[in-house]
Amino acid sequence: MTWALQDAKNKFSSVANTAWNGEPQVVTRHGKPIVVVISYNLYRSKIQPKRKKNIVEAFMNCPIDVDIAPLIAPRSRGSGRTTPVNFAEEA
């Protein structure tokens, strides 16, 4: 729906409620659109930053056929290193 600025000021509750129900509201000044009122949820969905892909997802979506299996280190079954490292001896 389109509202003249003065009408939108006078009936802001109606403008906000209609926008909240999913129908963006256009506000005009001298017949020209100046702003759009939208629901907060719609606003958040439009400005929400996209989650960045991790390296595996990036390779999986790569348009070039790449075998990523050799690039992924195998996971150990233990709780950490199997061989203790003594950094004092290495120095």
Quick one: pLDDT at residue 51? 74
Task: Report the DSSP pairing between strands 2-4 and 32-37.
Answer: unpaired
Q: Give tens-digit pLDDT for 6-54.
A: 999 999 999 999 999 999 999 999 999 999 999 999 998 888 777 777 8
Quick one: pLDDT at residue 88? 67
Quick one: pLDDT at residue 48? 75
Report yes or no: 45 and 69 within 8 Å, Cβ to Cβ.
Answer: no
Is 62 a member of any domain?
A: yes
Is 24 a member of any domain?
A: yes
Q: What is the CATH number of the domain that holds 62?
A: 3.40.1620.10
Is 18 a member of any domain?
A: yes
Whether residue 86 is predicted with pLDDT greater than 90 in this model: the reply is: no
Q: pLDDT higher for 59 or 13?
A: 13
Compute, in degrees rounded to 10, the torsion defined by CA atoms 17, 21, 24, 27: -10
Quick one: pLDDT at residue 80? 58
| Cα 3 from Cα 12, distance rounded (Å) | 10
User: Which one-letter DSSP state was computed for residue 53?
Assistant: P
pLDDT, mean of residues 46-74: 77
Please tell me whether residue 12 adopts helix, strand or coil conformation: helix
Quick one: pLDDT at residue 91? 52
pLDDT, mean of residues 80-86: 61
CA-based radius of gyration for the chain? 28
Give the chain's domain count. Answer: 1
Q: Which domain holds residue 37?
A: 1-66
